[in-house]
Amino acid sequence: MILSVKTKSRTELIDITSQVAEQVKQSGIGDGLCMLYVPHTTAAVTINESADPSVRVDIEMVLNQIVPWEANYKHLEGNSPAHVKASLVGASELLAIENGALVLGTWQGIFFCEFDGPRTRKIHARVMDARLR
């Protein structure tokens, strides 16, 4: 399955938990795994607190401090910071599924991380049954 995300900003964390949960529900799998993969070199996926929106803002702020937009980058496209941020955060997540639902902590959500937007992006979601066949 491929999920689509339309981003609005250069750097943005978008909560995709409900989209992923819906894919898990539609799969009909009771116990298994959900693998998420972002096939972009300037975007990522992560799991973090989704209850307080300021956490997202703080993550974006710190990543922008660690990897500033203005530096002596060599990449000619001008988006080297986005490549570095994507490498730091990571292109995939693996989540457990129990009783037909994602296993997430009380405050956890799944976030698509845009570092070179705005763009329309893809997230590959693979839901796998835990039973050996």
Whether residue 133 is predicted with pLDDT greater than 70 in this model: the reply is no
CA-to-CA dists, residue 73 to 28, 38, 67, 76, 118, angstroms? 47, 24, 11, 8, 21
* Span 40-95, pLDDT tens digits: 999 999 999 999 999 999 999 999 999 998 888 888 788 999 999 999 999 999 99
At residue 70, the pLDDT reads 85
> Span 92-108, mean pLDDT?
96
pLDDT over 80 at 131, yes or no: no
CA–CA dist 28, 43 (Å, integer):
29
Structural domain span for residue 110: 2-129
- CATH number, domain of 98, equals 2.60.120.460
Per-residue CA distances from 13 to 31, 49, 60, 117, 129 (Å): 28, 11, 8, 11, 29
The predicted model scores a pTM of 0.93
User: What's the pLDDT at 113?
Assistant: 98
Total number of domains constituting the chain: 1
**Count of C-beta atoms within a 10 Å radius of residue 129:** 14
pLDDT given for residue 132 in this prediction: 59
CA 122-128-131 angle, to 5 degrees, is 175
